[in-house]
Structure 1
Amino acid sequence: MDPVIVVGAGPTGLWLAAELRLHGVPVTVLETREERDPHSKAVTIHPRTLEVLAMRGIAGRFRAAGLPIPTGHFGGLPQRLDFGVLDTAYPFTLFLPQADTERLLEEHARELGATVLRGHRVTGLEERADAVTVLAEGPGGTYRLRASYVAGCDGTRSTVRQAAGIAFPGTEPSVWGWLGDVVLDEPPAGPLSAAGEHGGVMVVPLPGGVHRFVGATADDLRPGHPGELTLEELRAKVVRVLGTDFGMRDPRWLSRFGNAARQAETYRRGRIVLAGDAAHMHFPAGGVGLNVGVQDAANLGWKLAATVRGTAPAGLLDTYHAERHPVGAELLRHTMAQTALMTAISDDGRALRSLLSSLLTEVPELSRTLAERLAALDVRYPPSGPGPAHPLTGTRAPDLPFADGAGTLYGLMHAGRHVLLDLTGDAELPQLPHADPHRARLADPAGAWATVRAVLVRPDGHVAWAGDQAGAPPADTWA
């Protein structure tokens, strides 16, 4: 069996590598950087990503390293979204710097047998009908690797995407945000967010005595890269919005980012697949980028593994694009909308922000809906089979608790296989080659789960099939 080559050792690539190893697929991860990036672009893990981690039994590692925060923001509005009302075992966002997230994910991937090679840069691909040859440069010089498939998880400037000739259409940046990790002599008492006629700024404490400033001011609302951010410029922007610089000094990281929004026209071309930032590029609004990338990998991993092993039904790998491309398009739509709110600093724009923030208080269902979408708990994939489908088909399955303290659904999913549940507790379960059968009764089922009697849950936690009578799906039901 030729290995799968994953290009990029960020969160998306590492999770994909781990998922493939669960199924015994040889995996090599090639990463250009010799060391893990100490700068944490993302600092938030969302509820759905925590659920994905829980399905493999490692969510506790991340919770132990991070800080649960029961709220999140949409477009930087002052009224925050309450995650505590969400139907999940993880009703919060987890504050955890990306460097720590990557460390934990790499430990998990290596424990499962993935090979992670740092200081190895991919320069090109040669694809044939039966394999892909990866051209790369490493500490020992140039070399070639044969792979069954290549996964591009190598960011917005993806070498894999470009080598595969996959178009990346979208919009050019018209707004520039900025980020500064600095030491403060007079730090605020806690996290701080403010917006006004001069722009908006968020201040967040990071580990190690550093504070992060993120924002955009009036002079950032224009096309054309404004050049490298300096400490003096950062100080001036913060003072303009907040009235003080809190005694900032000793910058650890200064960066800019634009609101270009792009999406790969296809997530798969032949033996090349894309995931994470290689497949979608957007303004970092709401901290969704890392999370959607890991969720891409969760969808792709088991499908690619089954395809490589020769056990997948025809067309299974194609459902990766069919299911995740619409999610990526919705991601761009939401982040573009949030960018518009974040940069709405005119009189009219501030009136809009005030109105929407009031509505979040007055209409709790609006707040809940936005929280569900930000957390990716609302993602539903279209049914793949013929005829009418059960209402649960395609939806995300929460970590359902079983009666009499018999554990939970996610506790049955650590091996990364389908789970076939008989919820009557006594029906005869058929043997499906790709599913583990279990009998259980739900504790306090609600909604559609109150009447369902049998369900097939995919390795990524979405329902492949459900029935209100005891039984099982056709043997070829996978997605």
Structure 2
Amino acid sequence: MHDVIVVGGGPVGLYTGLLLRRAGLDAVVLERRPERGTHSRAIGIHPPALRALDAVGIADELRERGVLIRDGVARSSGRHVGTISFSALPGAEQYVLAVPQAVTEEILERRLEREFPGTLRRDVSLLTTHDAGDRILAVTRSQGEDAVLDARLIVAADGARSSVRDNAGIRARPRRYPDCYVMGDFRDDTADGDDAVLYLETGGIVESFPLPGGLRRWVVRVGSPVEQPSVDRLAALIRDRTGVAVDQATNSMISAFEVRSRLAERFVAGRTVLVGDAAHEISPIGGQGMNLGWLDAARLVPIIVASLRDGQDVAAQLAGYEKDRRAEATLARRKAHLNMALGRPLPVPLMRGRNAVLSALIRNPTVHGGVARAFTMQ
């Protein structure tokens, strides 16, 4: 019998497994993918999450392989609207760290394998779970062979469509938004350096973020879902709205997504606990989801340790975990909603008026500091 089974070998599951093993618990991490993915949707690591990652000794390597974004610039119709600087933030992390998700997973996986070989088990699919009261049973399949694993607890880090959550009978109704996006990575031929840039345009927002290796990610709001995004169409949208001509031949990733969110009705049910997107799916706009998952794990693992290793009654602590993390997820969802609203199309007169108000607000020190904290999850 294992102490804990973590389902999901993405950034949140790997981090959770590493915390559990470092605390002396027998934990395994199950991942259905036979190999680590190369697609990087999540790129932003915010200061609170970076401090949590520092606890497992990987923050320095992430900094070395990432880009420190210290300023966010807003433009519209070729004009400067305002700049949000993170230089006045509390603490040492006065930036958002941009690192491709694939790199983050690589670093976490390598650290977990080096310190606790065999903890991550790839090509293992979870078929179902059964809470037996004193333990939980997980039926798995790997290379055509079925097996049953016993554990004292299961942690669901298996994403927004979590099968563990469904098996536990926890509902999480999705909420859909009228916002769709296409994004792609290109060689950075701009003069924006390490700044993030938001283009507030009448056709919809265009976001631009620096990435390591001389790349820049472009995220463009579109009016309807795009099933098969094309590089030439994305490049045309960027050029038409911002005036920036990206080199199509340098594209290294392209994808499209619709926005939805969901909040599980419970984060704890019997011997099942939810973290990350399994507990709370947040719009990718704002880059909060992965960070919230790490902060979930940082809060949850000490409670698990107190229960399984030290024999404490942790019912009140688990209730506090659910209450606090639900509140943080609700706040993140509201921030994402505001970010999406900011990026929707507007007629020219309304856009100009709104941008004038934004420009004036950004120049106010109190508002400037509040926006900087909001953008960095502080």
Q: Same fold (TM over 0.5)?
A: yes
| Aligned equivalents of 2:181, 2:192: Cα separation in 1 | 22
Is the Cα–Cα contact under 8 Å of residues 99 and 212 in structure 2 kept in the other structure? no
**Structure 1 residue corresponding to 2:209, chosen from 196, 200, 204:** 204
Indicate the structure with greater helix content. 2
Per mean C-alpha deviation after superposition, the further-off stretch among 165-174 and 41-50 is 165-174
**Aligned match of 2:71:** 71
**Aligned match of 1:320:** 321
**Aligned match of 1:123:** 127
Distance of aligned partners of 1:82 and 1:206 in 2 relative to their CA distance in 1, 3 Å threshold: closer
Distance of aligned partners of 1:366 and 1:306 in 2 relative to their CA distance in 1, 3 Å threshold: same
Instruction: Verify: 1:81 aligned to 2:110, yes or no.
Output: no
**Structure 1 residue corresponding to 2:101, chosen from 98, 102, 110:** 98
Distance of aligned partners of 1:98 and 1:59 in 2 relative to their CA distance in 1, 3 Å threshold: same
Superposition map of 1:251-400 within 5 A: 251-315=251-315, 316-347=317-348, 348-361=350-363, 363-377=364-378
Q: Cα distance, 1:298 vs. partner?
A: 0.6
Q: Cα distance, 1:304 vs. partner?
A: 1.4
RMSD: 2.5
| Aligned equivalents of 1:253, 1:231: Cα separation in 2 | 9
Is the Cα–Cα contact under 8 Å of residues 83 and 92 in structure 1 kept in the other structure? yes
Is the Cα–Cα contact under 8 Å of residues 124 and 142 in structure 2 kept in the other structure? yes
**Aligned match of 1:47:** 47
| Aligned equivalents of 2:164, 2:353: Cα separation in 1 | 44
SS at 1:273 equivalent: strand
Distance of aligned partners of 1:154 and 1:354 in 2 relative to their CA distance in 1, 3 Å threshold: farther
Q: Cα distance, 1:157 vs. partner?
A: 1.3
Is the Cα–Cα contact under 8 Å of residues 190 and 204 in structure 1 kept in the other structure? no
Q: Cα distance, 1:181 vs. partner?
A: 2.4
Distance of aligned partners of 1:74 and 1:52 in 2 relative to their CA distance in 1, 3 Å threshold: farther
| Aligned equivalents of 2:312, 2:41: Cα separation in 1 | 36
Is the Cα–Cα contact under 8 Å of residues 73 and 286 in structure 1 kept in the other structure? no
**Structure 2 residue corresponding to 1:109, chosen from 109, 112, 117:** 112
Is the Cα–Cα contact under 8 Å of residues 230 and 254 in structure 2 kept in the other structure? yes
SS at 2:328 equivalent: helix
| Aligned equivalents of 2:244, 2:376: Cα separation in 1 | 33
Superposition misfits of 4+ residues, deviation over 6 angstroms? 73-77
**Aligned match of 2:26:** 26
Is the Cα–Cα contact under 8 Å of residues 182 and 257 in structure 2 kept in the other structure? yes
Q: Which amino acid aligns with 1:235?
A: A
| Aligned equivalents of 1:149, 1:74: Cα separation in 2 | 46
Distance of aligned partners of 1:205 and 1:60 in 2 relative to their CA distance in 1, 3 Å threshold: closer
Is the Cα–Cα contact under 8 Å of residues 75 and 342 in structure 1 kept in the other structure? no
| Aligned equivalents of 1:359, 1:332: Cα separation in 2 | 23
Q: Which amino acid aligns with 1:360?
A: I
Q: Cα distance, 1:284 vs. partner?
A: 1.4
Q: Which amino acid aligns with 2:201?
A: G
Q: Which amino acid aligns with 2:139?
A: L
Q: Deviation per CA, 1:90-115: give whole Å up to 9, x if none.
A: 11111211111112222333344260
Q: Which amino acid aligns with 1:151?
A: V
Instruction: Verify: 1:195 aligned to 2:200, yes or no.
Output: yes
**Aligned match of 1:62:** 62
Q: Cα distance, 1:270 vs. partner?
A: 0.8
Distance of aligned partners of 1:305 and 1:94 in 2 relative to their CA distance in 1, 3 Å threshold: same
Q: Cα distance, 1:213 vs. partner?
A: 1.6
| Aligned equivalents of 1:140, 1:68: Cα separation in 2 | 45
| Aligned equivalents of 1:215, 1:208: Cα separation in 2 | 22
Distance of aligned partners of 1:75 and 1:138 in 2 relative to their CA distance in 1, 3 Å threshold: farther
| Aligned equivalents of 2:355, 2:291: Cα separation in 1 | 26
**Structure 2 residue corresponding to 1:160, chosen from 155, 161, 164:** 164
Q: Structure 1: any 5+ residue segments left out of the alignment? A: 378-479
Q: Structure 2: any 5+ residue segments left out of the alignment? A: none
Superposition map of 1:431-442 within 5 A: none
| Aligned equivalents of 1:66, 1:375: Cα separation in 2 | 16
Q: Percent identity?
A: 31
SS at 1:125 equivalent: strand
Q: Which amino acid aligns with 2:285?
A: A
SS at 2:154 equivalent: strand
Q: Cα distance, 1:268 vs. partner?
A: 0.9
Q: Deviation per CA, 1:396-420: give whole Å up to 9, x if none.
A: xxxxxxxxxxxxxxxxxxxxxxxxx
Is the Cα–Cα contact under 8 Å of residues 74 and 338 in structure 1 kept in the other structure? no
Q: Cα distance, 1:152 vs. partner?
A: 0.9
Is the Cα–Cα contact under 8 Å of residues 159 and 276 in structure 2 kept in the other structure? yes
Q: Cα distance, 1:241 vs. partner?
A: 0.9
Is the Cα–Cα contact under 8 Å of residues 75 and 285 in structure 1 kept in the other structure? no
**Structure 2 residue corresponding to 1:172, chosen from 160, 176, 191:** 176
Q: Cα distance, 1:58 vs. partner?
A: 3.7
Q: Deviation per CA, 1:44-81: give whole Å up to 9, x if none.
A: 21111122123344422222222222234799995343
| Aligned equivalents of 1:155, 1:75: Cα separation in 2 | 34
Is the Cα–Cα contact under 8 Å of residues 341 and 349 in structure 1 kept in the other structure? no
| Aligned equivalents of 2:75, 2:305: Cα separation in 1 | 38
Is the Cα–Cα contact under 8 Å of residues 180 and 213 in structure 1 kept in the other structure? yes
Is the Cα–Cα contact under 8 Å of residues 19 and 56 in structure 2 kept in the other structure? no
Distance of aligned partners of 1:52 and 1:326 in 2 relative to their CA distance in 1, 3 Å threshold: same
Distance of aligned partners of 1:74 and 1:190 in 2 relative to their CA distance in 1, 3 Å threshold: closer
Is the Cα–Cα contact under 8 Å of residues 3 and 25 in structure 1 kept in the other structure? yes
Per mean C-alpha deviation after superposition, the further-off stretch among 302-311 and 52-61 is 52-61
SS at 1:317 equivalent: helix
Q: Which amino acid aligns with 1:266?
A: R
| Aligned equivalents of 2:82, 2:286: Cα separation in 1 | 14
| Aligned equivalents of 1:73, 1:259: Cα separation in 2 | 24
Is the Cα–Cα contact under 8 Å of residues 2 and 28 in structure 2 kept in the other structure? no
| Aligned equivalents of 1:79, 1:244: Cα separation in 2 | 19
Q: Deviation per CA, 1:121-156: give whole Å up to 9, x if none.
A: 212111110111112221252222111111111111
SS at 1:173 equivalent: strand
Superposition map of 1:445-464 within 5 A: none
Q: Cα distance, 1:20 vs. partner?
A: 0.9
| Aligned equivalents of 2:145, 2:113: Cα separation in 1 | 24
